[in-house]
Structure 1
Amino acid sequence: MEDLDRIVAVDWSGRIDAAGQRRHIWAGIWSAGKVSLEAGRTREELIEWLIAMSRETPRMVVSFDCCFSFPAWFLTEHGCVTVFEFWKKVAEGQGERWLARECKEIERDVRFWGAPHKRPEEFCGENLHRMLRLTDVDNKVTPKLMGEDPERAAKVKGITPKSPFQIGGSGSVGTGSLRAMPFLLRMWQSGFRVWPFESARLEGVKPQPLVVEMYTRLMTGAVAKSNETARKNYLAAKRKMDSLYSGLGRNVMQKAQTSEDAFDALVSVLEMARWSGEFARLKATKDDALRLEGITWRPRIR
């Protein structure tokens, strides 16, 4: 297998203000064994930067820590037979209409919830699973997972993936996901392959860059990453035991210690580098639901 030229892990943000985007969007970059951390870009600037880099080094993989889609039933409800059709609908303005929680001109879709709105009855009790994709459920710790893969179960213990329908409150992912989809569409239109909707094409005479969905918590494991001391202790322990971390420069370490977003980007890009040999073998899913919903990438996934 030919080595990747570049890996980028993006810690994404759904912030509406440019200043917030420049502060919270971080990219961890791996290239030829060297790692760097960068911020200071808006969503628009970041995507243009990624597209430009992909033309220089098409053997490149990019991850985003957001949901690439919604439950299959929701896409079907909106007449979308592919995720790319759904992204187009979001990009044409539907995404911002769903995010307009207090807009008097538009009737609010009550299925999009979060402060100040409570989770709707439709997603409560025995129907809670309807607000999650199959991959979101798969990333939760279950008795089955404990028996089949205790190592992975230990890593995700206490981690609860959120629903893309949640657009407010702690840990909400819906806002960032909806604001990512127009840019994912642009990357796809610029030549990026998007797994699992398409197979990777990183090898050969005409390689194409690849985009995957990432869930940072699956990379970091249990750590109070909002706490600077916890981040410092985590990185110090990794540096002693893990060769991927031992060669990191002081500047990179300092950025990851002082910023939770930089920390997420760093850990994610290093885990992607650790498992870089797997990306070229990723194949498009044949499952009808997953072809609409997507799959969160993780090491050893098939």
Structure 2
Amino acid sequence: MRTFAVDWSGDARSAHRRIRVAEARPGRLRSVRGGLDRDSVGELLLGLRDGDEPVVVGMDFSFGLAGWFATTHGATTLPQVWGLAARDGERWLRECPPPFWGRPGTRKPAEDPARPLLRRTEQEARDRGLRPLSTFQVGGAGAVGTGSVRGMALLGGWRAAGVGVWPLDAAPGPAGVLLVEVYPRAMTGPVVKSSAAARAVTVAADPRVPAGLRDDVVATEDAFDAALAALGMAEHTAALAALPVLSDPTSLLEGRMWLPPPP
């Protein structure tokens, strides 16, 4: 099985400057590449369908929205949520209507148990000590909403073209591509990613990163996340190769992160 991780970007004009794609095998990073925009990532995924071995690709954006928001807008399935994002996502990002926040003049909504800002999978990750942010946050430090909305808008087309998306689709058989939502922080550890020096120390101590790739991995936070996520996924290829379709209603509406088992 081939294992890739994509550090995604929601940047409207310069996503190619941020997106990084890494490939790893168990115990060894194979490559880190940049220069791809969102459309180019889609072309890469479609090209991987025709390989002679299965591929799992980790994408670091949210594959869904909180269930209450989806149903309020008439979506009862995850593909319908993607359709909402394709139809209304740019307006959400432009106008930032509640519960979205992060643009100038907007505020984070008050906590409401009936309208949680986190999906169940994000809350479960927090229960493990991780700190995923709400997809409704589209601006400010660490915001993931913009990239997620623009990523969700593409998932339906990719799936229609034959790329599987977990948890709706199971792991590929002898060939094919499956996308899984990942949270790179679960695989990078507690390093201060904003520090190039800290990234360099982490990479230098990791025997899975060949010397010839260290500079590329350290160069940006995006490359670091992609590389460490790909390596973390490659440590669990047996589990990824056995991923089943999930049947619980929440996962089928909100999506679900794949996380490595706790250490």
What is the TM-score of this pair, normalised by structure 1?
0.81
Aligned residue number for residue 105 of structure 1: none
Q: Of 223, 234, 239, which aligns to 1:278?
A: 239
Secondary structure in structure 2 of the residue aligned to 1:130: coil
**Structure 1 unmatched ranges of 5 or more:** 102-107, 142-152, 240-244
Aligned residue number for residue 130 of structure 1: 116
Aligned residue number for residue 147 of structure 1: none
Provide the C-alpha distance between the structure 2 equivalents of 1:40 and 1:13, rounded to a whole number of angstroms.
12
Q: Of 100, 112, 119, which aligns to 1:112?
A: 100
Provide the C-alpha distance between the structure 1 equivalents of 2:260 and 2:29, rounded to a whole number of angstroms.
21
Aligned pair 1:178/2:149, yes or no?
yes
Q: Residues 133 and 126 of structure 1: is their aligned pair in 2 closer, same or farther, counting only changes over 3 Å?
A: same
Contact 1:83 1:293 in 2 (8 A): yes
Encode CA deviations 1:41-72: one digit per residue, 9 max, x unaligned: 11111211221122224511111101000011
**Larger displacement relative to structure 2 (20-29 or 179-188):** 179-188
Write the letter of the residue equivalent to 2:107.
R
Provide the C-alpha distance between the structure 1 equivalents of 2:53 and 2:159, rounded to a whole number of angstroms.
13
Aligned residue number for residue 83 of structure 1: 78
Encode CA deviations 1:245-277: one digit per residue, 9 max, x unaligned: 1xx333311111121110101000001111111
Q: Residues 271 and 182 of structure 1: is their aligned pair in 2 closer, same or farther, counting only changes over 3 Å?
A: same
Secondary structure in structure 1 of the residue aligned to 2:126: coil
Q: Of 172, 179, 195, which aligns to 1:211?
A: 179
Contact 1:278 1:300 in 2 (8 A): no
- With a CA cutoff of 8 Å and minimum separation of 6, indicate the structure with the bigger relative contact order: 2
What is the TM-score of this pair, normalised by structure 2?
0.92
Q: Residues 233 and 185 of structure 1: is their aligned pair in 2 closer, same or farther, counting only changes over 3 Å?
A: same
Contact 1:14 1:175 in 2 (8 A): yes
Contact 2:29 2:210 in 1 (8 A): no
**Structure 2 unmatched ranges of 5 or more:** none
Q: Residues 73 and 194 of structure 1: is their aligned pair in 2 closer, same or farther, counting only changes over 3 Å?
A: same
Q: CA deviation at 1:79?
A: 1.3
Q: CA deviation at 1:281?
A: 1.4
The within-5 A match list for 1:56-67 is 56-57=51-52, 59-67=54-62
Contact 1:111 1:119 in 2 (8 A): no
Contact 2:65 2:81 in 1 (8 A): no
Aligned residue number for residue 4 of structure 2: 8
Q: Residues 289 and 117 of structure 1: is their aligned pair in 2 closer, same or farther, counting only changes over 3 Å?
A: farther
Write the letter of the residue equivalent to 1:211.
L
**Larger displacement relative to structure 2 (230-239 or 31-40):** 31-40
Contact 2:165 2:178 in 1 (8 A): yes
Query: What RMSD, in angstroms, separates the aligned Cα atoms of the two structures?
Result: 2.0
Aligned pair 1:140/2:130, yes or no?
no
Aligned residue number for residue 230 of structure 2: 269
Q: Residues 237 and 250 of structure 1: is their aligned pair in 2 closer, same or farther, counting only changes over 3 Å?
A: closer
Contact 1:7 1:273 in 2 (8 A): yes
Q: Of 153, 157, 161, which aligns to 2:132?
A: 161
Secondary structure in structure 2 of the residue aligned to 1:29: strand
Q: Of 25, 50, 53, which aligns to 1:55?
A: 50
Q: CA deviation at 1:279?
A: 1.2
Aligned residue number for residue 150 of structure 1: none
- Which has a greater percent of helix? 1
Write the letter of the residue equivalent to 2:104.
P
Aligned residue number for residue 166 of structure 2: 195
